Amino acid sequence: MISRSKLTPEVIHRVQVGSCRAVFTGRSGGASQGAYAEANLADHVGDDPAAVAANRVGLSQELGIDTEWSVVSQVHGARVVDGAPGNCGEADAITLTRPALPAAIFTADCVPVLIISETKLAVVHAGWRGLEAGVIEAAVEALGDAAASAVLGPAISTCCYGVSDELAERFGNRFGTGVIGPGPVLDLHGVAVEVLSNTCGIRSVTALGPCTHSPELFSYRRDGPVTGRQALVGWIVK
Ligand SMILES: [Zn+2]
């Protein structure tokens, strides 16, 4: 008999504000195998659909949420959609204002951004392209005055994120030289904090680790295109 915990993707961070809830998942637990082992939650990366479905059901049951999630086809852009059951098309952020329906975005190095208030939330997929496109600003604007605080989940960190001189210069010019380090390396969390704090005026921004290059997480930079994704899942309770 397989224990239930083995089939349940590990939750590495939990957030609760008012009636809003969110979790960031890790890599262990779950039914995925090979390069996707164990807790891949994305259905667009070549993993066995039955394994992905089992992982989503396992996590949903563990959290006591609906098994059908609002998701998007992530394209590294700045489009924001209102959460609705199933796939809401090409976008990189989902807002939720009503109870029950979970919304999820999937990452393996990009920054999973949770923007959260007492009654509304947004889940955002923000890599360098999305940060440059303004996906965080778009999500904050879509939430309106409700954007009270933000939490950044695990992303690739400066220890492991060398970039071209051209990209470093562009980001340094736009977001401040504090987001660039010798190498050069780019601080994705630093860019997100800069945008959330200074552009959007959100006072409370928390950045969580570890670097996604560490073994307990999926990393595109480390593993290449054949790898899984961890998830940021948010929902509102009644
Ligand atoms: Zn690292």
Q: What is the pLDDT of residues 167-210, one digit of tens each?
A: 999 999 999 999 999 999 999 999 999 999 999 999 999 999 99
If residue 81 lies in a helix (H) or strand (E), which one and from where to where?
A: strand 80-82
Q: What is the mean pLDDT of residues 87-111?
A: 97
pLDDT at 238 over 90: no
57 Cα to the center of ligand 1, angstroms = 30
Dist. CA 141–CA 133, nearest whole Å: 14
All domains in the chain, ordered by first residue? 4-236 (3.60.140.10)
188 Cα to the center of ligand 1, angstroms = 12
100 Cα to the center of ligand 1, angstroms = 35
Dist. CA 223–CA 201, nearest whole Å: 36
Q: What is the pLDDT of residues 22-35, one digit of tens each?
A: 999 999 999 999 99
Question: pTM to 2 decimals?
Answer: 0.96
Could you give the strand order of the β-sheet that contains 11-17, starting from the edge strand earlier in sequence? 11-17, 20-25, 230-236, 103-107, 70-73, 86-90
Residue 66 structure tokens: 């609906």
109 Cα to the center of ligand 1, angstroms = 10
159 Cα to the center of ligand 1, angstroms = 4
Q: What is the pLDDT of residues 39-88, one digit of tens each?
A: 999 999 999 999 999 999 999 999 999 999 999 999 999 999 999 999 99
